[in-house]
Every structure is written in C-alpha cells, then in structure tokens.
Structure 1
C-alpha cells in the first residue's frame, strides 16, 4: 500500500466512500482527503488510480485560502478548474488503457474518478460525462456485470439523446458499447446493428478509411465468429489488418496523438486476430503474415525495436514461403531499418 496506508476516521466525521458512496470508515494516510468504506475499496482505488493522483487531490479538496481581491479569487477558481479538467482527462486515459489491456476491475475506480471530476466541472447532465459512462459500461461488460453496464449505458444514451449537437465520435463510441453489451447478452442481431451504426458514425467523424473505424469492424468480426459465420468474420478481420498495414501516416499520427490507451487497443486487436489466424484449422499464411507485419509496424512506431525485429523476422519467414514475394520485400526493408536502429541504440 505504500504511503497510502489507511487511517481510521475520528468518531462523528461523516464522509462518503470514494468508490461506492457508502459511509466511510477510513481515509488515505497520504493525501488525507480521500475516504473509503473499507480496506478493500481503498486497495482497489490505490492500485487503479489513487497512487498516481494522490497528491494532486490535496489542492482540489482542501478549502480555499482567503483571497484579498476579486482578481485573486477568480484566478484561484480558474486554477481549480484547470486542475479538475486535467484529472478528468488523466483518469479517463488510465481507465481506457486498463480496459484495452483487459484489466476491467482496475479500470472501474479510475473511470469513477473521471465521472466525478466531470460532474464537478461540467454538471450532471453534460455530454462531457458520456466518455466516463462508456468506460464504466465497457469495464462492467467485461466483468460480466451486464445489469450495471446497462445502467451506465442508459445514462450515456439519455445524455446523447438530449444533446442536439452531440459529436459523431461520441455517438460512435456509444453504439460500439451497445454492440458489446448485446453481444455479451447473446443478442447478435441487435449487436450487429449497433456495431454497424458505430462504423457509420466513426466514418462520419474520422473518414471511411481511418484507423479509428477499425474497432467496429473488429467487434463485428467477433460476433460473426461466435455465430460460426467464418467467411464473413475472415473478411472483416482481413479488413482490420489491412487498415493497420497500409496506413503508415495515419497510424503514426494516431500513435503520436492519442497515447498509451489507443496503443494498447491496437495491440489488443491485432494480437486477437493473430491468435485466431494461428489457431484456425485451415491456415492462411499470407493473411497471418499481414497481421504479424502490422504488429511489427506498431512496435516500430512505439520504438520497441527488439519486439519489432522479432515480429519482422516472423513475418519474413512466413512470406518467404509464399509465391508472391512483394510482401517479403517490404518486410525485409523494415528489418534493415530495425537493424540500423538497434545498432545506433546500443
């Protein structure tokens, strides 16, 4: 637990638990401004997000000093809002990364923080709350807590319906989460409807061929795979792989702009497709090589050169067995580039 060791609250002090809102019995010994109902909730919060933001909470949750002028008071309020908005963004990114890594339990405390900070800065009905509700829904779906996921999605859907100028990007994410929920419930027809709608809104927001639309295709492929409609699933998995393989400039921009969370998503998607390709009864070396090549590119862009070399060699060996050598030439070029990078980084 480190410096976040729990302290018992004095008698008569009524506070609410950071995670569940129940009566608090403990508080963080480091920041002394965060409260919990029991040690389990304190440990869950610490592992998820609190260790990273513990000291950042102190200026937000302590009383304002006395201001000598209106100008000072205004400046103090602006500083508070700036800190809160920073925490909204940071906690959301941490929660999103946990979700993409499949760590759904760890994602929930961070997403709850993001939701609470969003409410503090924007109010309870703002569209700015939707991303936090969607992360909470996706994490709950991943944990099999479908009733809880449905409640979070209902909150998000209600806000979106009330917001006349809701962005296409937000609507894309909402429908993707609805698609995941219905897939988890076994309602594949409704799931495919929402995932198709996700792709439509993502295409409107980012463009038809942008990497950002790949998630919708990937989840649709998973639904068809579960229905044993392998030809359709295969074509969609191929579509996702090709998007990552041929779009160097957009992937580079993607990696630079969105950070670790979306890097984790890209890795999750491509590794899942690779597992399916490698475990398929009928092997398709060319398609497997495309996925491995795309993974090698991803690791190259995040400067993980040893992993790039490992994956590049794997892709190269596969393509050497194919009649068409165009792909092996492209991978060979990547390997030469990697060797130079490894030489200069020694």
Structure 2
C-alpha cells in the first residue's frame, strides 16, 4: 500500500472508529458507564499516527481534532475541548473553506461549549454562523435543482439519490445541528423571533430537499405562526407563505 493509500485508509478508519469512539465517550459520560477510557485510548493512538504521518491531509487532521474535542466535552474538560475544536476549525477551513458545511460542525460544537459555560454572546455568534452556512448551502442547492428541473433534466443525466446532495450521515448531522439550534433559539423567540424563524426556514428547506413534505410543512407553519404572534412584517409572513406554496406545487406537479 502506497503512502497516499495508507493515509486515505487511515482517514476512513478514523472516520468510522474515531467517530464511534467519540460517540461512545459521550454516551458513556451520560450513562455513567465508564467507557471513556476505551475511547480515549483509541483516539490517543489515532493522534499519534496522524502526527507521525507526513501524508495525512487537512481533512484527516480536522476529523481527528473534532473527535478529540467531542471526547473532552464528554470528559467535561472544556479547555482541552476548545483547543481541539479550534484546531478542527482551522484544518477544516484549510481543506474546505471557512463557510463550508464540513467546517460548520466545529463551530457548532464550540458554540455548545460556550452555551454551557453561559458565554451566551459567543455562543449566539457561532450558532448564527452555523445557521447561515447551512441556509446558504441548502438555498444554493435548491436554486441549482430548480434550474435543472425547469430544463427537464438533472445535473447527472439521472435522478438524484437525494435532493440535498448529502449522504445519509451528513443529512443526520444537518438535522441534529439545526434542530439543536432551533431548541436553543426557541427559548429566546419572544425577544429575538427573527433568529428563530431563520432556523425554522432552514429546517424547512432541509426537509423539503429531503422530500419530507410533512416535516417541511411543520417547520414552515411554526415559522408562520411565530411571525404572526410577534407581529412581524407582512413581507416576512409572505416569505414564509411562499415556502408553504412550494410544498403545494410539489404535490401538484411531482417530478417524474
């Protein structure tokens, strides 16, 4: 196996086992099962391997630091967690750019730390950034697909496996991130309704592109009702009504 192939193999292994280790640590911390040590051992070995290798890409470094950040969150060592998540953001930015959805996970987990530490201004800034990244991605995706549909073709000469352009794991991450932010925004919806509505509209677009009309309609209705309750502008209410009309149009004229 060449050095490049070895690095690619290790990245895949880290993505599978490293992610599992971090999730195991988080679950163990919540359940008090004492399994964090096992997760820490694997990620320590992974860290040593990555640091020793000259072939590991920025994406691999990002993945490692994100998993380590999650591990230290589970251990409630927030200083170390912040260090690793900052590195995750740096390496993900080098690999994908600062405004990429693959970088947004680092911002999100860092925001969770600040929120837990009651540093709400910092958390709010990061949650807003994450929401904006996902909103832009999903709206750009919608515009591309809309144009393709108008032309009665799709971009690959065949039907898309999913309209989101994401794989199953990425879709699950998007749902988890945006639902978590929405739950946080709900607590301030009376004082900052626009921020809550922005997240609801992003969730609408996510589920709409996933072709889950019922969930998309649910979040659009939540946004519409909040806009009415808070007496937001007619323009805002009309914008949300336009989202609801997308579902009606899709049901009336399904893609064949």
TM-score for both structures, normalised by structure 1: 0.59
CA contact (8 A) 1:133 1:156 kept: no
Aligned to 1:226: 116
Q: Structure 1 residue 295: deviation in Å?
A: 0.5
Q: Structure 1 residue 328: deviation in Å?
A: 3.5
Aligned to 2:194: 286
Aligned to 1:179: 69
1:242 aligns with 2:132: yes
Aligned ranges 1:331-346 → 2 under 5 Å: 331-345=240-254
Q: Structure 1 residue 267: deviation in Å?
A: 0.4
In structure 2, list runs of 5 or more residues that go unmatched. 29-34, 146-161
Greater shift, 294-303 or 240-249, is seen at 240-249
CA contact (8 A) 1:286 1:322 kept: no
Q: Structure 1 residue 194: deviation in Å?
A: 1.0
SS in 2 for 1:166: coil
Measured in 2, the distance between the counterparts of 1:335 and 1:262 equals 25
Inter-CA distance 126–344: structure 2 relative to 1 (3 Å threshold):
closer
Q: Structure 1 residue 159: deviation in Å?
A: 1.9
Greater relative contact order (CA < 8 Å, ≥ 6 in sequence): 2
Measured in 2, the distance between the counterparts of 1:323 and 1:235 equals 23
Aligned to 2:155: none
Aligned residues: 224
SS in 2 for 1:165: coil
Aligned to 1:142: 26
Measured in 2, the distance between the counterparts of 1:285 and 1:256 equals 27
Aligned partner (choices 159, 165, 177) of residue 269 of structure 1 = 177
1:162 aligns with 2:52: yes
Measured in 2, the distance between the counterparts of 1:282 and 1:331 equals 18
Q: Structure 1 residue 265: deviation in Å?
A: 0.7
Aligned to 1:89: none
SS in 1 for 2:211: coil
Q: Structure 1 residue 175: deviation in Å?
A: 0.6
TM-score for both structures, normalised by structure 2: 0.78
Inter-CA distance 208–308: structure 2 relative to 1 (3 Å threshold):
same
Aligned to 2:82: 192
Inter-CA distance 138–255: structure 2 relative to 1 (3 Å threshold):
farther
CA contact (8 A) 1:136 1:152 kept: no
Aligned partner (choices 212, 217, 220) of residue 309 of structure 1 = 217
CA contact (8 A) 1:127 1:159 kept: no
Measured in 2, the distance between the counterparts of 1:272 and 1:340 equals 29
Inter-CA distance 205–277: structure 2 relative to 1 (3 Å threshold):
same
CA contact (8 A) 2:22 2:68 kept: no
Q: Structure 1 residue 281: deviation in Å?
A: 8.8
Inter-CA distance 342–165: structure 2 relative to 1 (3 Å threshold):
same
Aligned to 1:32: none
Inter-CA distance 163–262: structure 2 relative to 1 (3 Å threshold):
same
Q: CA RMSD in A?
A: 2.6
